[in-house]
Structure 1
C-alpha cells in the first residue's frame, strides 16, 4: 500500500486513526496499541501477504533472542550473550543475503568462473533492509545492556510501525518503544494532528507534483541504451538528482507527518542535503538515520578514528562500500558507495591538513561557501549516475556524455550564437527542451534557496498568539484537506507511482 494511493488516503488512514483514538478515549491503551500493530501488519501484508510471515517470523525470533541476550548479559554470562548475539545477527544477515543478494552473488560467480549457476526466482520483500537493520541494532543494544523495555506489543510496533516500515527512517528502540508506553500518546491532540497533516500534505505535494513531475526526463537518458551528448547527459543526471531528492524528501515528510498524527515523534531523516558545503555535512543531512546506524554499528565498531589516520580512512571506505551494497545488489551500488567513501577520505584528510597548518587558505566568505556547496553538489551528482544506472556500461555512457566524450554540440539559438563565440560546433537540428530546463532550475531553486519542510512547519506553529495560532491552524486544516483531495486526484490521474526507496 502506498501513502499516495486512494486506498491509503481514504480508507486505511482514517479507519486506523479513528479506531486508535476511539479505543484510547475508553482508556483501552493496550487495545489501541494492539490495533495499531495489527494495522501496521495489514499495511505490510497488503503488498504481498506471503511475506507477512517472514516479517512476523523475524520479529518473533529477534524479540525472543533479544530477551535471552539481555538475561544472559545481566546474569554475567557475557560469553553466552555474545554467542547468542553472533548467532542472531548471522541469521538476520543470511535471510537478508538470500532475498536481496543471492542472485547478485551467483551472477558475480558466473562472471568470474565457468560455473553455470542457475539464477534463483526470488522476489525482494519490501522493506527487508529497514526491518533487518532496525532489529540488528536492537540485538546489539541488548548485549550492551541498553534495552530497558521489552514489551511484546511495543516491540511489534517498533519494528512494523507503518509510517517507517517500507522506506525508513531506520529506528532506534530507545527513541520509539518508550513513546508507545506513554499515556500521553493515547489521547487526541489537535495540535499534533494539524502538524502531522502539514508535514503529510507538504510531502504529498513534493511526491505528486515535483518528483513525479520531473521523472519523465530521467528515463530517456538512463534507460535509452545510447550514448547521450553533453547536454542530454547533464539534463538526465540533474533530473534524477532532483527526482530522488524530492521523492525521498517526500516520503520522509509523510512518514513524520503520519506518525505525528498518532502523537509519536519519528526522528528526522532529511535536512536539505544539497545545501551541504562538504561531503561529511551531506551525510549528516541525507538519510540521517542510516548514517547514524552505519556510524554507530559499523564504523565505530570497526575502530572508528581511534587507531590512527590510515585505519580511520580504511574504516570509512569499508563503511561506505557496505552502505552502498545495503542500497542495492549490484556493482553500480558498490561503486556509488565507494565513491562516497573516497569523497569522505579526501574531506577528512583535507580537514586534518588544514588543522595541522599544512594547508592554509585565506577566507573567501560567501564566494568560498558557494564554491564549496557547488563542488559538493557536483560530486554527489556524479555518484548518483551509478546509483540510477541499470548497469555499469549504462553509467559509463552517461558519464562519458557528461564529461564531453560523446561530442559537445550546441543547439542553434536565434540571436544567441554561444557556440560561435567559443569555437564549438552547432547542431541546427538539436532542439532545446525549455520545459526540462524550467523543471531543473525551479527544483534546484527550491532545494537551495527555500526553507525545508520542518523549518516551514515549525515557523508556522510557533508564530502568533494562542487565539491567532488556533485560528490559523484550523484554517490550515481545511486548506490541507482540500489540497490533499486535489493532489490525490492528480496522482491517480497519472497513475500511482512508488517511492524510489521502496526498492531498497
Structure 2
C-alpha cells in the first residue's frame, strides 16, 4: 500500500499520470483484492481496465477461473504454509531461548520456513489475483516459481516480482542503475537491497537479509562479467543446472534464516547447527563434562521426531521444484499482468494439468475448498501482514 502511494506521487510529479480525478484515485487506493500485501500495482496499469465496458458484463469463464485461483491460493496458505509452520516455529523459538540445535533440527527449521513463506505469500498473491479476476481486472503476477531459479538474479525476477519492479524503478534506476560503471552499479545494488531489507523492519536481521542478497547479486553479476571476459560459457547440461539451482536455493535459505530469526545471535545459532551437530558431542562421555566447563553447552531442544517432518518438507520441496505453478495451470485464461518482461516463460505443463472449465477441475476445486475450510481453525495471519 505504501509503495503504491509512493509510486503514484512520483509518477504525478514527473507527469506520467495526468488523470487527477479524486474518485479515480479513491478507487485505485481502495481496490480491495491487493490492498494489504500487494501485488504492488501502478496507477496507469490498472485504472484503464476500469474504463473497459467488458468488465461490467458477466463472464462465467472468468468467474470460474477467478474462484479457482482464489481457492488454490487459500489451499497453499491454510493447508501447506500453516502445516509447515508447526515445523519451523519451534526451531526458531528454541534458538531464541538459546538452545543448541542439532544438524537435523537446524535444517528442519530453515527449510520449513523457506517453504512456509513461499506458500504463505504466493498463496495470498494468488488469492488477490483470483479476487481481482472475478471483477474482470488483471493485476501483476507476483511469483513465478522462484525456487526453480538458477541464480539469485533469476530469483529476484521471480520472487515478489512487483516489489522487485518497484525497487528497480524508484530506487535503483534513480540512483544511477548501471549507467555509471561497474563499481557504481554494484554499490547501487547493495544500497537497494539494504534499504529493501530495512523496509521490512528496523532490525539488524532484516538489514543482514537485504545485505546478503545484495552480496549474492554483486557476486552473481561479477561472475557473469568474468565469464564474458574469459569467453567461458556456462554449462547448460543437467549437472550444471542442478548445481546452480542447488547453490541458489541454499543461498536463499541461509538468508531466510536471518529474515525469520528474532536476533542475529538466534540466526547464527541455527546456522551453526547446519554444519556442527553439537548435540552429539555428548557422546564423548567423561570428556563432555570437561568441555562443558570450558563453555561448550550440551542442552538441546530434542524436537526432531523423524518421519513426519521429513515427509512433509520433502513433499513441499517436490511441489516447488517439480510441479507447475498456478499461473502455468491457468495460462489459457491469462488472469494476470506480465510486468517485468525479462522473466523466462516457464514451459507449459502436460495437457491434463492445464485448467479448463470441466467436471474434473470442479472436483479438484471442491477438494481444495473443503480441505482449506477444514484447516481454517488452525490458520494464522499472513506472514507479510506485519510488514
What's the TM-score once normalised by structure 1's chain length?
0.65
Change (3 A) 1:137 1:364: closer
Cα displacement (A) at 1:401: 0.9
Shift of 1:405: 6.5
Q: CA deviation at 1:406?
A: 3.2
The one of 192, 205, 219 aligned to 2:75: 205
- Pair 1:243-2:123 in alignment: no
Which blocks of at least 5 consecutive residues in structure 1 are unaligned? 1-130, 412-426, 464-470
Show CA shifts across 1:156-182 (max 9, x none): 121221111111111111111111222
2:239 equivalent among 363, 367, 375: 367
**Closer/same/farther in 2, CA of residues 410 and 256 from structure 1, 3 Å limit:** farther
Secondary structure at the residue paired with 1:356? Answer: helix
Please show how residues 80-159 of structure 1 align to structure 2 within 5 Å: 131-159=1-29
Q: Partner residue of 1:3?
A: none
Determine if the alignment matches structure 1 residue 479 to structure 2 residue 352.
Answer: no
Q: CA deviation at 1:408?
A: 5.8
What pairs with 1:378-389 in structure 2 (closer than 5 Å)? 378-389=250-261
Counterpart CA distance in 1 for 2:304 and 2:201 is 36
> What is the alpha-carbon distance in structure 2 between the residues aligned to residue 332 and residue 430 of structure 1?
24
CA contact (8 A) 1:277 1:373 kept: yes
CA distance in 2, matches of 1:351, 1:322: 24
Distance 2:63 2:281 in 1: 53
Name the counterpart of 2:249.
Answer: 377
Instruction: Work out whether 1:498 is the aligned partner of 2:370.
Output: no
Q: Are residues 1:185 and 2:55 paired?
A: yes
Aligned counterpart in structure 2 of residue 174 of structure 1, from 30, 44, 49: 44
| TM superposition shift of 1:407 | 4.9
User: 1:333, 1:386 within 8 Å by CA — same for their partners in 2?
Assistant: yes
Q: In the alignment, is the contact (CA less than 8 A) between 2:177 and 2:185 conserved in 1?
A: yes
Cα distance in 2 for partners of 1:231, 1:409 equals 14
Kindly indicate whether residue 263 of structure 2 is the aligned counterpart of residue 391 of structure 1: yes
Higher relative contact order (CA 8 A, sep 6+): 2
In structure 2, what is the equivalent of residue 400 of structure 1? 272
Residues 386-430 of structure 1 deviation map (CA, whole Å, 9 limit, x = unaligned): 00001111111111111316356799xxxxxxxxxxxxxxx9x99
CA offsets 1:176-200 (integer angstroms, 9 cap, x no match): 1111222222221111111111111
Query: Which residue of the partner structure matches residue 196 of structure 1?
Result: 66
Residues 451-486 of structure 1, C-alpha deviations (whole Å, 9 max, x = no match): 1101112258999xxxxxxx9515367536634651
Q: Is the 8 A contact 2:69 2:129 kept in 1?
A: yes
Q: Distance in 2 between matches of 1:231 and 1:450?
A: 26
Aligned-pair distance for 1:369?
Answer: 0.6
- Equivalent of residue 348 in structure 1, options 203, 212, 221: 221
1:263 aligns to what SS in structure 2?
Answer: coil
User: What is the rounded CA distance, in whole Å, between the counterparts of 2:320 and 2:267 in structure 1?
Assistant: 25
| Structure-1 separation of matches of 2:356 and 2:174 | 48
Could you tell me whether the CA contact under 8 Å between 2:150 and 2:248 is conserved in 1?
A: yes
Choose which of 436, 448, 452 in structure 1 pairs with 2:309.
436
Q: 2 CA distance for matches of 1:362 and 1:186? A: 50
CA distance in 2, matches of 1:145, 1:215: 45
In structure 2, what is the equivalent of residue 163 of structure 1? 33
Pairwise CA distance, 1:363: 2.8
Report how many residues are paired: 349
CA contact (8 A) 2:101 2:277 kept: no
Question: Could you tell me whether the CA contact under 8 Å between 2:235 and 2:241 is conserved in 1?
Answer: no
Asked if the contact 1:194–1:473 (Cα under 8 Å) also holds between the matched residues in 2, the reply is yes
- The CA distance in 2 between the partners of 1:362 and 1:458, in whole Å, is 30
Closer, same or farther: CA 461–364 of 1 in aligned 2, 3 Å = closer
Whole-angstrom distance in 2 between the partners of 1:330 and 1:434: 35
Structure 2 length-normalised TM: 0.84
- Whole-Å separation in 1 of the counterparts to 2:50 and 2:172: 30
Give the superposition deviation at 1:220.
1.3
CA separation of 1:408 and 1:306: change in aligned 2, threshold 3 A:
farther
Distance 1:481 1:231, change over 3 A: closer
- SS of equivalent residue, structure 2 residue 252: helix
- Following superposition of structure 1 onto structure 2, how do residues 404-419 of structure 1 map, counting pairs within 5 Å? 404=276, 406-407=278-279
Paired with 1:472 and 1:171, the residues of 2 have a C-alpha distance of 28
Displacement of 1:138 after TM fit?
1.0
Contact 2:81 2:117 in 1 (8 A): yes
**1:202 and 1:211 mapped to 2: Cα distance?**
12
- Asked if the contact 1:230–1:408 (Cα under 8 Å) also holds between the matched residues in 2, the reply is no
- In structure 2, C-alpha distance between the alignment counterparts of 1:207 and 1:401, rounded to whole Å: 28
* Whole-angstrom CA distance in 1 between matches of 2:54 and 2:166: 28
Structure whose CA Rg is larger: 1
How far did 1:349 drift? Answer: 0.6
Q: Which residue, 368, 373, 381 being the options, matches 1:489?
A: 373
Q: Is the 8 A contact 1:401 1:407 kept in 2?
A: no
